[in-house]
Structure 1
């Protein structure tokens, strides 16, 4: 069995093996910039030297608060060359929130805008600029790692460590599970999701695999559609709102050559049935992969498009790990019964934290829940219904907003939608729909559309047209402000 090497060493090997091959195409609002493997490695070496000025502890932490772009890539690789734990932060966080997170992390290097006023040394991209050097400073000896910051459901800071360090098999970095998800070495990958969330793992795993990465500063439908064809993209990750926006007539995705795409990965939120089927038709079912997980990485569930067609609405079966559905009495629920989902990781361990916040609910030995609801069918396929705190009790019957939103989002006249509870004198609460209209929108037509597809108690009692919905950069709804 060959050794596992840090990602920094993989990048050095790729730079030596393919020095003049493009590693990153940075495209977007400005002129495209292409960076070769040799240039990328040298820039990261120089940045590592800047980060290490003044000395670093044996197990350093580097907070990277930069937008999608080459600076983010260089800073992250530089930190890993030093054996650091990288914590990416959203650049749109209010300064006070960014300050609280970095204060909770403790001693660290902060890479980004000093306006965030973090309580630690700040390094700005201008300090390493276009510098290049052949070799990186000696690493601190620690395994390169990463962690994800979240406020959690109570708002208390949590910094969740990625379970595995950024180590890869030096001969064949792609695992059997990766290959089952359409990944391989030397592919072209499009990254348009945020680098403080799902884009982070996709991009840096891709670089370790030797992918040529096409990186956009943010999601722009026409730019993404053009890039897939122009760069002959093999792999991309989208969230459902992006998938729906790419299908809008003005984008012209249907006229593009999509034959290069080998794997579309989507997740983070439920995908409307109509949107999912449209992409299955565009790419072919065997090229569309849906995944379900949590920041705590308790388990991983995925399903390929052809398997989804046999189990529509499912997110697949857990692999690795295990999942159980627990009812209100704390007992394991049977097939088809909706309850709280509890996951057990393959090693039976709970989440690993750089900074711990609120405790997760537990069930028996080694099962943890992040609060999601769902059910399992007789074959073990998982169906996710939403979060426990989002359930609307309509006259004693539980209604799941995610189910209604899936129908609303499948309507051609709806660009975006959210369902929230509305007080009702008789029933206690009823569903109320907030809708971002698209061409041809009509409340009467939309209500009829819902009545044809939902049970009567699930049909929204009222509809409200809004200009936009409060979504995070990852595509998730901020329901508390909706």
Structure 2
């Protein structure tokens, strides 16, 4: 059949299997509604006609700010049938952050609730209509694109254009790189990661692969566990906080039949080693895939579970592209020596809607986002953290992710993050914000003993604060802008012996 746009691919599937299920949309009680391929295609054609009537043309940015569901898919595919660039946004963003991102995007149209002060009109899903139309509007429509938005909380929003358009060689589906991570045509995929994050690519790549996509309204551990068994799910994507929550015995995941799962994909944040090992035991290492990348798509790295067991902590080797580690002297670091990570990927650098980000560059064609890490002798990458989050403890560089990994391995801890706290002699020390796993919080002494048994003295938290929840978005990412306020308003409990300057300096 050759190359088809995503809209043409859905039309092809609508002809081949009109009544087969394309979408299963769940509500919070587990009730379902289904959308077949013919219905999806015809409703998207109708939506395309409505959007065209409001002036949307090829290349125009269209914001889709809707919760997970059929409306999101129909609006997105409808815009793509016109060759538009779809930018998914969290519909629950605070107004100021949503406006900052929208100002950077300058969309032709927003599908979702009106945004006061936004530079574009808004259409509700009802205004897009629920009609059906056999063909999209007539016209020479170009390549459908998408972009992802980040940075609205910092006042420096970045709108990153996906390099590749949503076009597929249908004679080569799935592609070799998809087969390498357990993907195939005709699978059942569960999407519970938000559609303004990695769930977007998973969902629409899944539709191109003729997946039946099961959509949850938000991440609900019990509903996710039940859905894997109920729908015989083959593929799912999770973030580490979701993985940990699903392992809670009250969820009952271990009692479910998970034999249908061919591929669990996880990424977006470091996964605590003990959480990862638990999932490797549950599914088998050949069915667990970890990925590391950036919004700017500088490079893509992934590792299968059996490789990870041979190199615990690695995120894999880049494919395609290459990575170098650059030391403080500006030269390439030796294996095992940490430094700043720079990536070179095939093709041009990142594309942006609106202002371009000023990324660090090394030797003209390598770019970075500020991450630190190292390579081993075989070229496997180990990521230690973001340079902007590093804590300098008496001259020793401490990466919060390493401490958080240890804290999250404690059964009494549901969630944790580490931030710097001023110290009179050492300059900075790690301060831990901890969400208890049960009604009674562990004591600072208990957590201190747990950490000191696994970490060097400079890395053990000097103090702890217990909080009801951390400011994470639905994708599991910490909202760093809100952490400072949380740390300032929580009661600090010093750990025993944390000001042992001699122990730190004598490392």
| Distance in 2, Cα, partners of 1:456 & 1:153 | 34
Matches within 5 A, 1:118-137: 118-137=118-137
Matches within 5 A, 1:164-203: 164-203=164-203
350-359 or 188-197, which deviates more? 350-359
187-196 vs 57-66, which deviates more? 57-66
- The corresponding residue for 2:435 is 436
**Maintained 8 Å contact 1:157/1:357:** no
Matches for 1:196-211 after TM superposition, within 5 Å = 196-211=196-211
Q: Distance in 2 between matches of 1:101 and 1:441?
A: 38
Structure 2 vs 1, CA of residues 116 and 334 (structure 1 numbering), >3 Å: closer, same or farther?
farther
- With 217-226 and 439-448 compared, the bigger mean Cα shift is at 439-448
Q: Is the 8 A contact 1:21 1:37 kept in 2?
A: yes
Cα pair 2:308 2:314 within 8 Å, conserved: yes
1:328 Cα deviation after fit: 1.6
- How well do the aligned residues superpose, as a CA RMSD in angstroms? 1.4
CA deviations 1:434-468 (Å, max 9, x no partner) are 10001364222222111111112111111111111
Distance between the aligned counterparts of 2:80 and 2:61, measured in 1? 10
Q: Distance in 2 between matches of 1:128 and 1:148?
A: 23
Q: Does the C-alpha gap of structure 1 residues 390 and 112 become closer, same or farther in structure 2, counting only changes over 3 Å? A: same
Could you tell me whether the CA contact under 8 Å between 1:189 and 1:235 is conserved in 2?
Answer: yes
Query: Which residue of 1 is the match for residue 487 of structure 2?
Result: none
Indicate the larger mover: 72-81 or 113-122. Answer: 113-122
State the match for 1:456 in structure 2. 457
In structure 1, list runs of 5 or more residues that go unmatched: none
Q: Which range moved further: 175-184 or 132-141?
A: 132-141
Structure 2 equivalent of residue 417 of structure 1: 416
Match of 1:481 in 2: 482
Deviations 1:332-383 (A, max 9, x none): 1111111110001122x21111223430010003100111111111110100
User: More deviation in 17-26 or 129-138?
Assistant: 129-138
Aligned residues: 480
Shift of 1:317: 0.3
Is the aligned partner of 1:15 residue 2:18? no
| Contact map agreement 2:22 2:207 (CA 8 A) in 1 | yes
Partner of 1:24: 23
Q: What corresponds to 1:321 in structure 2?
A: 321
Question: C-alpha displacement at 1:73, in angstroms?
Answer: 0.5
Structure 1 match to 2:498: none
**Secondary structure of 2:53's match?**
coil
Deviates further, 239-248 or 428-437: 428-437
Contact 1:160 1:355 in 2 (8 A): no
Return the offset for 1:411: 1.0
Pair 1:139–1:421, CA change in 2 (3 A): farther
1:69-120: CA deviation from partner (whole Å, max 9, x where unpaired): 1110110000011111101111122223322322322351111101454211
- Cα distance in 2, alignment partners of residues 153 and 72 from structure 1: 24
Secondary structure of 1:411's match? coil
User: Matched residues in 2 for 1:105 and 1:455: separation?
Assistant: 45
Residue 378 of structure 2 corresponds to which residue in structure 1?
379
Q: Distance in 2 between matches of 1:58 and 1:473?
A: 31
Quote the offset at 1:154 in angstroms.
5.1
In the alignment, does 2:450 pair up with 1:466? no
Displacement of 1:174 in angstroms is 1.2
User: Structure 1 residue 269: deviation in Å?
Assistant: 0.2
Pair 1:152–1:391, CA change in 2 (3 A): farther
**Separation (CA, whole Å) in 2 of partners of 1:343 and 1:43:** 41
TM-score (norm 2): 0.92
2:360 maps to 361
Residue segments in structure 2 that go unaligned for 5+ positions in a row: 484-507
TM-score normalised per structure 1? 0.97
Alignment check: 8 A CA contact 1:96 1:116 kept:
no
Deviates more, 1:315-324 or 1:29-38: 29-38
- The answer to whether the Cα contact below 8 Å between 1:152 and 1:358 also exists between their aligned partners in 2 is no
- Contact map agreement 1:234 1:263 (CA 8 A) in 2: yes
Q: Residue 457 of structure 1 aligns to a residue in which SS?
A: coil
- The structural deviation recorded for 1:479 is 2.6
Kept in 1, the 8 Å contact 2:100–2:155? The answer is no
Q: Distance in 1 between matches of 2:111 and 2:250?
A: 38
Please list the CA deviations of residues 412-443 of structure 1 after superposition, one character each: whole Å capped at 9, or x if unmatched: 11000001111111111111111000136422
Q: Measure how far apart 1:140 and its partner are.
A: 4.4
| Cross-structure match for 2:43 | 43
